Amino acid sequence: MDNFQPQSIDLHLKEGHEERDLPVRAIVLFLASLVVLGALSFVGVLAFLYGLEHWRRTHEAPLSPVEQRLANQRERLQQTSVKAPLPAHEATGVKPPPDFYGREKMEDHLTRTFPVPRLQYDDVFEETLFRTSEERWLNSTGKDAQGNIHIPIGRAMDILVQRGLPQVSPSALQPNNLPSAVPLVPAGPSRR
């Protein structure tokens, strides 16, 4: 191990590693130039953004009549909403009924202005409306147009508990009669 032999004929190395260090002056110059170039890049990007904004303002296309009308409506709406007093229910924290703010007019205006589908503006109210309609359907009784008889879901569960599940014929349990999506489960005790 003490006898170091280089593998290349052209290299005349006496040692196996470099002994010179990187000078401190070079490190300081590199860090200083890195800071200066970073600051110059920041100033350059900032100047570029201000230039683009200035160009956009000077070369902006005029508003179309529809856009102008919408801008005027927004300005009038902002002016009237600032002057309107706050409703009394906001101090109590109780949510008003759905049409308190004139949502029917707002919805009518939105359907004329923007095409559907739109984002929900009162998802809690719409979820409550959906849930009540589903509960009403689940608890309804009667016969529909196809001849199906509907009974309330609670009554149907009570009947199922009293009578049990319907019997299945042995031919329906044969492997060739089962749909392909139903896995076959062996009957009997577990093998754990």
- What does 90-104 look like in DSSP terms, one character per residue? HHHTPPPPTTTT-HH
How far, in Å, CA of 183 to CA of 175, rounded?
10
Domain boundaries, the chain: 26-79, 125-164
Q: pLDDT of 86-136, one tens digit each?
A: 555 555 666 666 555 566 777 777 777 776 666 776 788 888 888 998 888
Coil, strand or helix: which one is 150?
strand
Token pair for 147: 């001849």
Q: Which of 172, 58, 107, 12 is nearest to 50 (CA)?
A: 58
**pTM for this model (two decimals):** 0.29
Token pair for 58: 């000077």
